């Protein structure tokens, strides 16, 4: 982030929710950009000026997945999370995604997600990927039982990847409160193997 205030894009096709989310973020020290559909969110993808994007996954015409792809191809490569009514499936482990919340969400959950994504800038690339993957893991464990997930080969491979990342996280960052919170939210992963 080169600006003093991070620029946050929020996109949702439900105007009442978009207004509510914007209201929840009023007291945050951010520059807020609102998009009421995927098409409008796409208009911000190439300008390289978005630090965090919170997207609804299922919007008409242009989905959150398509906006995610466009953001990843753009100049800014922001941290991106879905806040959506669609329960996550194991396929999210393959998305280049930094967070996932299933609606309905509380103000604390929404604001906490935005703050967490902003704070991740201070982490190393490895620690940031670890936190993003812990977030995906937590979302999956909320929507499906651990025993069902562990029987899925995709999830099993994801857990192995997560363990390899945990071992590579710089020891100095293990004490970072952000990493500690993500570790607690993501469930038990023993980084020592």
Mean pLDDT of 23-34: 96
Q: 118-163, pLDDT tens digit by residue?
A: 998 888 888 889 889 989 999 999 988 888 898 999 999 999 999 8
pLDDT at 1 over 60: no
pLDDT computed for residue 190 by the predictor: 39
**pLDDT at position 3 over 70:** no
Backbone angles phi, psi at 32, to 5 degrees: -100, 135
- Backbone torsions φ then ψ of 86, nearest 5 degrees: -75, 120
State residue 182's pLDDT score.
57
| pLDDT over 90 (residue 76) | no
3-state secondary structure the chain: CCCCCCEEEEECCCHHHHHHHHHHCCCCCCEEEEECCHHHHHCCCCCCCCCEEEECCCCCCCCHHHHHHHHHHCCCCCEEEEEECCCCCHHHHHCCCCEEEECCCCHHHHHHHHHHHHHHHHCCHHHHHHHHHHHHHHHHHHHCCHHHHHCCHHHHHHHHHHHHHHHHCCHHHHHCHHHHHHHHHCCCCCCCC
The domain locations on the chain are: 7-122, 126-185
183 pLDDT tier (thresholds 50, 70, 90)? low
Q: Over range 184-188, report the average pLDDT.
A: 49
Instruction: Look at residue 180 in the predicted model and tell me its pLDDT.
Output: 57
Q: To 10 degrees, what angle do helices 107-119 and 177-185 make? A: 130
- Residue 12 token pair: 């949702």
Q: Which fold has domain 7-122?
A: Rossmann fold (3.40.50)
* Model pLDDT, residue 157: 94
pLDDT bucket at 57, cuts 50 / 70 / 90:
very high
Residue 181's pLDDT band (cuts 50, 70, 90): low
Per-residue pLDDT for 188 more than 90? no
| Tokens 């390289």, residue located | 48
Q: Tell me, what's the pLDDT at 187?
A: 47
Range scoring the smallest mean pLDDT among 2-16, 108-122, 157-171, 172-186: 172-186
């Amino acid at each position: 982030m080169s600006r003093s205030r991070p620029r946050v894009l929020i996109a949702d096709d439900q105007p009442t929710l978009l207004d509510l989310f914007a209201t929840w973020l009023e007291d945050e020290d951010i520059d807020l950009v609102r998009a009421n559909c995927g098409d409008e969110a796409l208009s911000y993808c190439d300008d390289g000026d978005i630090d965090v994007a919170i997207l609804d996954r299922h919007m008409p015409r242009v989905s959150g997945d398509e906006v995610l792809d466009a953001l990843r191809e753009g100049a800014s490569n922001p941290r991106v999370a879905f806040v959506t009514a669609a329960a996550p499936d194991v396929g999210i482990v393959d998305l280049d995604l930094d967070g996932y919340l299933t609606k309905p969400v509380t103000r604390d959950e929404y604001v906490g997600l935005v703050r967490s994504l902003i704070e991740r800038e201070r982490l190393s690339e490895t620690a940031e990927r670890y936190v993003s993957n812990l977030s995906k893991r937590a979302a999956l464990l909320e929507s499906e039982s651990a025993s069902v997930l562990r029987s899925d080969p995709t999830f099993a491979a994801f857990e192995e990847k997560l363990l390899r990342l945990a071992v590579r996280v710089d020891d100095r960052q293990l004490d970072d409160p952000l990493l500690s919170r993500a570790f607690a939210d993501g469930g038990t992963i023993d980084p020592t193997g």
